[in-house]
Structure 1
Amino acid sequence: MRGIRGAITVEKNEKTIVNEAVQELLQKIILANDINTEDIGAAIFSATTDIDVTFPAAAARKLAGWDMVPLFDAQQMAVDNSIEKCIRVLLLVDTDKKQNEIQHIYLRRAQNLRPDISKI
């Protein structure tokens, strides 16, 4: 089992925008790592306190194949000067890939969280 991280930011705290961002992030992680949803053991989401219009897991649940994936939402710690309007995810995935073969995906302003591994 491997952990795959990702994050994305939104410009507005609007349900449609948040849903689309979560789905974009998950689709890019799936594609970049050649994952089948049945191989996902769990997805853990967090959102900064300024995102409160919907649960990121609710957006994931709308994607094809995500109906049986265990999903969990949490609120990101509020830390001074941290990135705003950010959604993070940790996927726990059954894979034969080595740690250095995993592609973590950070989009938009979230690229600043891990510039050392941001690829997109």
Structure 2
Amino acid sequence: MSKTLRGLRGATTAAANTSQAILDATAELLRALQEANAFQPEDVESAIFTSSPDLTAEYPARAARLLGWTDVPLLGTAEVAVPDGLPRCIRLLLHFYTTKPQRELKHMYLRDAAKLRPDRGGPRRAPRAGKRGIPGSIARTCTTSRAMRPAS
């Protein structure tokens, strides 16, 4: 079976704004994703790491290098300072080759980041959009403009 390029998401939080705390949290996330999705560093095409504005002591991507991901292109960037954003948060978008379909991938949200996606890692289920929509979501208020609707 041939491998397809897939996207895999994850997030975690560092215990503090220290190099060691950032590296520990990021390494834990990378190991969890690798174990849950059965891939090797050579399967990884690229990885994008983001960190909340309060994390300045270390690049989260350095944890991947320390784990031996020496040939993987890595990018780190700072997130926008959003009011009420999750503090000390590290997010990851990983592109890798796998034989698994997208729906079988196991995205990981660890530590305090579990509250970002309770449907992905906690015992609680995320609310589903319906007549009332997801609380706090803009999805229920957005409409497609005529210019964007397909021609009849």
The two structures share one fold, judged by TM-score above 0.5: yes
The one-letter code of the counterpart of 2:117 is R
Secondary structure of the structure 2 residue equivalent to 1:31: helix
1:43-66 deviations in Å (ceiling 9; x for gaps): 1000000000011111211102x0
Higher alpha-carbon Rg = 2
Q: Which runs of 5+ in 2 are unaligned?
A: 124-152
Aligned pairs for 1:1-120 (under 5 A) are: 1-64=5-68, 66-118=69-121
How far apart, in 1, do the equivalents of 2:91 and 2:113 lie?
A: 9
Instruction: Please state whether the residue corresponding to 2:100 is helix, strand or coil.
Output: coil
What is the identity, as a one-letter code, of the residue corresponding to 1:89?
L
The alpha carbon displacement at 1:119 in A equals 5.6
SS of the residue corresponding to residue 118 of structure 2 reads coil
TM-score norm. by structure 2 comes to 0.75
For 1:3 and 1:113, the matched residues in 2 are separated by 18
Residue aligned with 1:103, SS: coil
In 2, Cα distance between the equivalents of 1:59 and 1:99?
25
Aligned residues: 119
How far the C-alpha of 1:11 sits from its partner, in A, is 2.2
Distance 1:119 1:67 in 2: 32
Cα distance in 2 between the residues matched to 1:18 and 1:117? 22
Structure 1 gap ranges (5+): none
| Cα pair 1:105 1:119 within 8 Å, conserved | no
RCO (CA 8 Å, sep 6+): is it higher in 1 or 2? 1
- Among all aligned residue pairs of Structure 1 and Structure 2, give the percentage whose two residues are the same amino acid: 41
